[in-house]
Structure 1
Amino acid sequence: MLKLFCALILTLLSYFLSGQGFENKIDSLILTEFNEANVPGGVFLVAKKGKVIYRKAFGRSNLELGTDMATQSIFQIGSMTKQFTAVAILMLEQQGKLNVNDPVSKYIADFPNGNNITLHHLLNHTSGIKDFTKMKSISDIAQKQMSPMEMVGFFKDEPVDFQPGEKFEYNNSGYVLLGYIIEAVSGKTYEEFIKEHIFDKAGMQNSFYATDRKIIKNRAYGYHQKADGYVNKTIINFSVPYASGSLMSTVDDMFKWQVALKGNLLLNEKQTKKAFSKSRLSNGEMIEYGYGWHLKEINGMESREHGGSIFGFKSMGVYIAEKDIYVIGLSNCDCNSPTQIVRDIAGLF
């Protein structure tokens, strides 16, 4: 009995120490970038098989008030918004209200080349439509309140970069169009649809359509880094990035999002598979993008990943289905990217 007891104690001690070692490895990866106390920072979460095994905050959430970052801090997630837009489209398809093979002209009759551009092309960045973030005139509207139709009108008559299906080229305009279509089909605003059909269903109580005016408890403030120090982020009107980049969330809510996707809470298995399936260009070449996710590999294992960047914030999330590992990192300075750190953490597994 004594030998058994000692063996058990040694096993538990070994498990505890290996856990500590693993935590130290994660810490060391994060501290390569987020290694100062009195500057903007970030929050990181790691979950394995549905359970959080690491959650830590680094740096400051507000430099002027000197408040520390907290694990429940709320960040703008930038282009990770596209995951939610893509799933919203698939939800509407599941309800029989649209089809991803529908042409854009079905929803905007006068859209140039709209008979040949499908929702599928918008979802996987193969439409060829001009990306509005690359237009020089973007500064003219960056702080204006724009309706979804006004945003579409801003870029719709621009010359195309290529014909639909010819190339993969990351494109924010396509997701603005998808936001407009979500509103047209559902009869709700994009903000209302995402809250009612995704945030509320997944229990994401600390996720919102971004705003600089509403009081949001635990908000992390965004910063830029200049040669002489940090400055507050550039102000934009969130009706401009809209369905391509205007959501806010926490690491715990983003984990709830992953759990909801894995458990088919929001989509059935068939629709979920569409989001995570690679597609081919017109020349037969396979692209590493589904609907709202990059589909890559980390250490030989398939990964679903996406990052985001918007004034003052950067974000990155990776899911390894084979190991049921989810890693998410959120930063409140666009000078600090969590992208490689998150991928390296996932690689530890």
Structure 2
Amino acid sequence: MSRRLISLILSFILILGIPFNALSEAGSKIQIILDEEVVELENNAFLNQDGKLMYPLRDLAEKLGYSITWNGNQNITFSNENSNIQVNIGKSIIVLDQKEIDLETNIIAVNGKTFVPLSFLSDALDLVVGWDTKTQSLRINQIKKNNEDYFQSYVGVNNELNNYMELLHKYENFNGSILIAKKGDVILDKGYGFADIDQNIKNKTQTRFAIGSVTKQFTAMAIMQLDEKQMLNIEDKILKYLPDFPNGDGITIHNLLTHTSGLVNYTELPEFYALESEDPKVEDVLNLIKDKPLEFEPGTQFKYCNTGYALLSEIIEKVSGVTFEEYLHENIFRPLNMKDTGVCYGKNKEIHHATAYSGHLDLIPVDDEILLSQAYGAGNMYSTVEDLYRWDRALDTEQLVKKESLDRIFKGYIDMQGMGDYGYGWLIRDTELGKEIFHTGGTLGFSANIARYIDEDLTVIVLTNKSGYDTMSLAYTLASITLGKEYTTPEPIKEIEIKDKALYDNYVGEYVIFPGFTITITAEEGKIYAMVTGQDKYEIFPESEESYFYKIVKAKITFVKGEDGKVTSLILDQNGQNLTGIKMK
């Protein structure tokens, strides 16, 4: 059920005059998970008339070791050895260690019990909080101590890096978590923006995000572990492990690892998104492509293909005798103390904390379950920036595999046509900052990147609950700041008012970028819209009389005029690329 629908239902409840305590009963199905354990509350959490989840404070405060003092006049103090929190019933302002914080939702009392919004748990109690509207479940985790040596060398927040990220959140609506470390010193480890915008839940350093194709490097590591144990061989044909798979006698494990198999990419097929996700099986997605011809002879070309890594996770299960999820936990996550990393919608139905969003300046919550539950070894993991840093540190050791295997993982095997080379689950390229080994990840509502600048022993980890975010450029900019290189500071986009809307008439028309890719500009009721071939139309907003920006994606359109003042073309600026569209007469 959507947040908006829940809010409407609750509005009708209030209008009809149902007693307020009945609202508490309406929330009886909300599941509370505290530090991975389902807990029963003496008083139920519930959604208020604005769709904000209200939580019974005493139940949680006592579990966390706070002492509670009723001061009269609707004033309550919660305190422990580390902090003091003053709360006033009926107000949204609290005082945390003499600092005022506005929760933006009033604290209330119901039947003599104090209820707080989730922003209190996030801001005042410094808890990692995740609210899943679809399953009506609330996940709460206490911040874990990082005991490893490489976390102890924290040198404090780098002001320049932090300022950049604050501006990025302010001007470009960045929501996510960042970790940057150089030569074993953690320079920045911080959450920005919101894990859930509607509930005002803040992102933390231990907020869990889906990481999409960053999963592939873990799948590749599992394969290399099995190769070292001689349980398989990289050059084996996949027919050895999947006897009934078409063309299995011509495709090797190496081909799957390097995207040179020639197989059709199943996540590009429309029928993939029509699959049932109730009881997903890897066979279901593989059946979508099994009977389709190869796109090229294995080993002759590079084409990014999620099918290959789904097959690799199937091979891992066949060889190891356990599920892909169990293998990762026992052989990678557990040895590296990656307690906040797992498989989305796996055995225990674990998911990320952060709500998935699509958009840019305007964000829309999206359902990512179909993709995440059926991405398998190609992209079904969630993690945190801190757990990925544990992974990063292990890659400089022989804790998981020997150096010879690591060298094979980070070797470039095939040219990606200007993007560098592809190894086993990693991209390798030369930059002005030195050699970079990285991999991005993207799902319907998340974007991720882990970038390792080898020459500088510099690691940048970016996780965000926004789809389509250019994490590769962001990681490179943050690395540039760290190394004292030049960079561009985020600036606000200022929307201007177009007083004479007749201006838009000159822009209306079709613009051909290339055959099959057209942008259609229309004007309706004083507003201007752009529609790309095969997509919905979206309003664009004037930055100047010639330049317009989207709010749904990070992109701009600039109209170009001829000497006679008539528009001849437009320029689409997106992801650092400028595409010219010629106006059709």
Shorter chain as denominator, the TM-score bin is 0.7 to 0.9
Deviates more, 1:138-147 or 1:120-129: 138-147
CA separation of 1:226 and 1:70: change in aligned 2, threshold 3 A: closer
5+ long unaligned stretches in structure 1: 1-18
Once the two structures are TM-superposed, the CA of residue 278 in structure 1 deviates from its matched residue by: 1.1
Q: Which has the larger radius of gyration?
A: 2
Segment of structure 1 superposing worse, 329-338 or 169-178? 329-338
Tell me if the contact between 1:92 and 1:98 (Cα under 8 Å) persists in the aligned partners: yes
Which residue in 2 is equivalent to 1:146? 280
Whole-angstrom CA distance in 1 between matches of 2:336 and 2:257: 22
Aligned residues: 326
Equivalent residue number for residue 301 of structure 1: 434
SS of 1:52's partner is strand
C-alpha displacement of 1:118? 0.4
Q: How many angstroms does 1:188 deviate by?
A: 0.5
1:313 pairs, out of 439, 446, 462, with 446
Q: What percentage of residue pairs aligned between the two structures are identical?
A: 32
Deviates more, 1:48-57 or 1:113-122: 48-57
1:34 aligns with 2:176: no
Q: 1:334 to 1:286 in 2, by over 3 A?
A: closer
Match of 2:239 among 94, 98, 105: 105
Q: Which residue of 2 aligns with 1:132?
A: 266
Shift of 1:212: 8.9
Q: CA shift at 1:34, angstroms?
A: 2.7
Residue in structure 1 matched with residue 256 of structure 2 by the alignment:
122
Alpha-carbon distance between aligned partners in 2 of 1:242 and 1:215, rounded to the nearest angstrom: 14
Partner of residue 46 from structure 1, selected from 168, 180, 184: 180
1:69 aligned onto 2:203: yes
1:291 corresponding residue in structure 2: 424
Distance 1:272 1:26, change over 3 A: same
Q: CA deviation digits over 1:80-124, x for unaligned, max 9?
A: 000000000000001110011000111112222211110000001
Partners of 1:241 and 1:215 in 2: CA distance = 15
**2:402 aligned partner, one-letter code:** N
Q: TM-score, with normalisation over the residues of structure 2?
A: 0.52
Deviations 1:246-269 (A, max 9, x none): 001000000000111111210100
Task: Sort the Cα spacing of 1:160 and 1:296 in 2 relative to 1 into closer, same or farther, 3 A.
Answer: same
Structure 2 runs not aligned, ≥5 long? 1-154, 484-585
The TM-score with structure 1 as length reference comes to 0.86
Q: Secondary structure at the match of 2:221?
A: helix
How far does residue 36 in structure 1 lie from its aligned partner after superposition? 5.7
**Contact map agreement 1:298 1:346 (CA 8 A) in 2:** no
CA contact (8 A) 2:344 2:351 kept: no
Larger helix share, 1 or 2: 1
Is the 1:145–1:237 Cα contact (8 Å) retained in structure 2?
no
**Which amino acid is the alignment partner of residue 90 of structure 1?**
M
Q: Name the aligned partner's letter for residue 161 of structure 2.
A: I
The answer for the alignment partner of 1:14 in structure 2 is none
Call closer, same or farther: CA 1:338–1:95 in 2, change over 3 Å.
Answer: same
Distance 1:151 1:90, change over 3 A: same
Aligned to 1:25: 160
Other-structure match for 2:467: 334
Counterparts of 1:59 and 1:212, CA distance in 2: 28
CA–CA separation in structure 2 for the residues paired with 1:195 and 1:266: 13
Distance 1:305 1:173 in 2: 20
Greater percentage in strand: 2
* Root mean square deviation, CA, Å: 2.6
Partner residue in 2 for 1:13: none
| Aligned mates of 1:116, 1:213 — CA distance in 2 | 34
Cα gap change, 1:286 to 1:224, in 2 (>3 Å): closer
